[in-house]
Chain A
């Protein structure tokens, strides 16, 4: 071989045949090349769909995404009010942020990154900086690829017609494997923590369960909830309503996971061993608590841990308040509640049972003997229906009925029961009646989807064969000549849109009178407070506003020494709000008396 090999010297000149061909890399005149349909260009965020969960920020391995406050977007339940801002100087366009976005609001567009001398342009707030980006979305999860687990691990439960035969707990509970799998769905966004009245450390304990550390989970849970097993079974779980996964899937079963963690401690002794709380030396201060419901028990538990001498005065034979007497045992078994209350007593809380304040002991005595008083008396008195025939035998209030059943008393209801109302009390009364063999019908003035009761309870009732008659307004209870309930008469209603933008109102249809033969009627349209125990000067000093104690942010009433919480204070009327009240009051009392 030499330089002068003729073939090899001339052959390269064949390149000349390319001369004059149309260039294929550079176009003249210049034209813009449209990016492909999957191009991973600048981010776009649908600001309305985004809930600010921050999962994009968490997955970003370059820490390129910050969650920032944006003018015009306010935080609300289920929305942190924050939106992602991308630092394009750090972004590597891997698009994992898109793939983990639970709402699907975040996507990448066909927009190319660009050159500018504006250094701040690196910071890109998707959706704000490109409001029109929606038209150029390219890489998104719209094609169904997502890294979120949208499907919930089903909760094993007794079959509907089987469970109606007894008061056995209807829900069986997750086993370890199921709990780990369910916990692994959580993306730790903590929107739930914000929505929980008690701000429980939900992502933390779920994470502990996912890691297989149930004891840690239990300790985290007990940090601000001394009745977690009860909450794990019957909480109204507003946390799940706001779960980020629920936007496109089924919410993480937060309640069932809490239940799982608490049930790993089989006795109050084991609970104590695991939680092993620090109990401070007695500080010499005394606190009296009226009512051993969730709020009172919570205040008592955390006050006892802080070294207070706490005594609860409870009118009934058992503690727990509505969770003991209002919730049927197939939802919250007695042993479960006993276990939790035993534990609270073991910490040093003194509960005086069968001691009704105002009857067995005067409020004045409690007030004078203690350095602070907490009132958690709840709403024990039911509203009556206010219709004719309500005084008939067999017409009763659902909440009283539940109380008697839970107190092991006999109640005659016959074989055909009508329950009036659409809340949890109505559903509970209906399902309890079904367990006594009665054929049960729920009459509700609005539509089923308007029922304030928990959707799982409604489904449970349907599974158990309970009839539901929506848009039915009772007008009269008929009785036979012995004064026993014979039938209930109701009008059907049509839903009329509310002019002021509220939910549609039921308006009775004239002439639609229907009569249903029944042996018992239960009203479940709400309860109210009973503050007769406040006598004399206390009735004056402790102000009640529209049926509830007026309190400040510290749960303090108009008498600085007296605090209140639970249903008698807040409108949400659920156990977890009561627990939050108790905890807040505890902190305020501690601050007031000890200065912590």
Chain B
């Protein structure tokens, strides 16, 4: 006998540190027949606000687009402004930027470890990884003065040079994290429960991925090798040696495998960057921010965030403020259209796990 369909409202809070959004589900039994995402809890209108903030003030808003992804946003804005203005960035600053971006990736992966497992009721690893992430945040605090919102990568370079002995402390932390990643493997990737809950769940096939414009680990989890750091390198990524991991299957498990490898690649990149970092200035100073105008023009820059490729469009009409800032984030596609599609036919219990695995980030969706 066909079961009667019921409507279920999931959210706006979710297990797994996803952020505030609601998913309205039509379920038959515990099978989802239709999913509708309802966002609107976190809209702060940053893009609009930036039109009334000068070029420097706008920079401080960028990091707030997506909480676990602060640095790729700053990086994108800085590069967009530099492109419009033709402002050079000192070589050392480029290395520092890459170091920060990779540390940020790592910190974000640590959060994902907690979130992905938390969404499945596996809380131990979250205690570990979020605790270990604090060591990276300590580094950020030392370097930038802030733990989560760094506001460090600004147009023209970075705000401050590395503190004395910072490189050694970074390397020490990298060694520690690398060791810890093995511990995580023990209780996550070699865990029957995790396998059972993720293998064959939340499948995104290759065609769907391409059709929807899916990026990042979700795309690489379908076996497609794509990474802006390799395809369209920025800063000094073209000088670095690292791999872009992929996995087959397109399910939560495949995406988890990709992220697992990527975390290790980030450590590898940080080590290289520290080894190769040249001396020199870190900042090509902008003029008095109150009078700083950019020439007429626009720029679209692509950056590999943890969630995948993000594109930032910045337009200048020659004035004191950006005429338009627009982010093409990864989460918008993943967290709305793709999520609705993937949830169809899934089990209610897997909603949070799928949301997390797709890289749903409501603050970035709504901006």
Contact = CB atoms under 8 A, between A and B. Distances in A.
Interface of A: 1, 3-5, 7-9, 11-12, 14-15, 18, 24-25, 35-40, 55, 58-59, 61, 92-96, 100, 108, 138-139, 143, 145, 147-149, 183-188, 207, 210
11 contacts: A7-B190, A8-B191, A25-B134, A36-B138, A37-B163, A38-B160, A40-B145, A94-B149, A96-B56, A183-B291, A187-B288
Given A11-B190, A25-B131, 4 more contacts: A38-B163, A61-B60, A147-B289, A184-B287
A184 B288 contact: yes
B147 to A, nearest CB: 9
Contact of B145 (A18, A61, A95, A186): A95
B4 interface: no
A59 B53 CA distance: 9
Interface stretch (B11-19, B192-200, B236-244, B345-353): B192-200
Nearest to B161: A143
Contacts of A188: 290
A40 B183 CA distance: 34
Interface in B139-161: 141-146, 149, 151, 159-160
B57 interface: yes
Contacts of A40: 145-146
Nearest to B185: A11
Is the interface on chain B under 10, 10 to 19, 20 to 34, or 35 or more residues?
Answer: 35 or more
B57 A59 contact: yes
A186 B291 contact: yes
Contact of B187 (A15, A184, A207): A15
Interface string B166-189: 000000000000000001001100
A94 B192 contact: no
A3 B159 CA distance: 52
A139 B143 CA distance: 11
B71 to A, nearest CB: 15
A229 to B, nearest CB: 24
B286 interface: yes
B64 to A, nearest CB: 8
A1 B163 contact: no
Contact of A36 (B56, B142, B149, B190): B142
Contacts of A9: 192
A38 B61 CA distance: 20
B95 interface: no
Contacts of A138: 145
Interface of B: 53, 56-58, 60-61, 64, 124, 128, 131, 134, 138, 141-146, 149, 151, 159-160, 163, 183, 186-187, 190-193, 195-196, 199, 283, 285-292
A14 B143 contact: no
B299 to A, nearest CB: 21
Most buried by B among A1, A108, A143, A207: A1
Contact of B131 (A24, A36, A147): A24
A593 to B, nearest CB: 43
B288 A92 contact: no
B47 to A, nearest CB: 14
A38 B142 contact: yes
Given A145-B283, A184-B291, A3 B163 contact: no
Which residue, A108, A143, A145, has most C-beta atoms of chain B within 10 A?
A145
Contacts of A187: 288, 290
Contacts of B187: 11-12, 14-15
A96 B141 contact: no
Nearest to B124: A15
Nearest to A9: B192
A188 to B, nearest CB: 6
B145 A108 contact: yes
Which 6 A-B residue pairs are closest in the complex by CB-CB distance? A61-B57, A8-B192, A94-B60, A11-B190, A40-B145, A38-B145
Contacts of B145: 36, 38-40, 93, 95, 108, 138-139
Contacts of B149: 92-94
B60 A92 contact: yes
B142 A14 contact: no
A479 B151 CA distance: 76
A148 B144 CA distance: 20
Contacts of A147: 56, 285-286, 288-289
Given A38-B143, A58-B290, A3 B196 contact: yes
A59 B289 contact: yes
Nearest to A5: B192
Contacts of B292: 184
Nearest to A61: B57
A18 B184 CA distance: 12
Contacts of B287: 149, 184
Contacts of B192: 1, 3-5, 8-9, 12
Contacts of A14: 183, 186-187
B149 to A, nearest CB: 7
Given A15-B124, A92-B60, A148-B288, A61 B190 contact: no
A41 to B, nearest CB: 9
B56 A59 contact: yes
Contact of A11 (B128, B131, B186): B186
A355 to B, nearest CB: 48
A96 B57 contact: yes
Given A1-B196, A186-B291, A15 B57 contact: no
Contacts of B151: 94-95
B288 A37 contact: no
A9 B186 CA distance: 10
Contacts of A12: 186-187, 190-193
Select the residue from A11, A35, A207 with max chain B CB neighbours within 10 A. A11
A1 B199 contact: yes
Nearest to B164: A37
A382 B201 CA distance: 99
A37 B144 CA distance: 10
B198 to A, nearest CB: 11
Q: Which of A9, A25, A61 has most chain B Cβ within 10 Å?
A: A61
Given A8-B195, A58-B290, A38 B144 contact: yes
Contacts of B141: 35-36, 38-39
Contacts of A148: 288
A188 B283 CA distance: 25
Nearest to A187: B290
Contacts of A36: 138, 141-142, 145
A186 B286 CA distance: 14
B61 A185 contact: no
B60 A96 contact: yes
A517 B225 CA distance: 92
A39 B141 CA distance: 6
Nearest to B176: A24
Contacts of A210: 291
Contacts of A5: 192
B139 to A, nearest CB: 9
B331 to A, nearest CB: 22
Contacts of B146: 40, 93
Contacts of B144: 38
A1 B198 CA distance: 12
A563 to B, nearest CB: 40
A38 to B, nearest CB: 4
A8 B185 CA distance: 11
B293 to A, nearest CB: 8
Contacts of A184: 287-288, 291-292
Contacts of B131: 24-25
Contacts of A96: 56-57, 60, 289
A96 B285 CA distance: 14
Contacts of A186: 288, 290-291
Contacts of B134: 25
A59 B290 contact: yes
B357 to A, nearest CB: 19
Nearest to B138: A36
A252 to B, nearest CB: 10
B365 to A, nearest CB: 21
Contacts of B138: 36
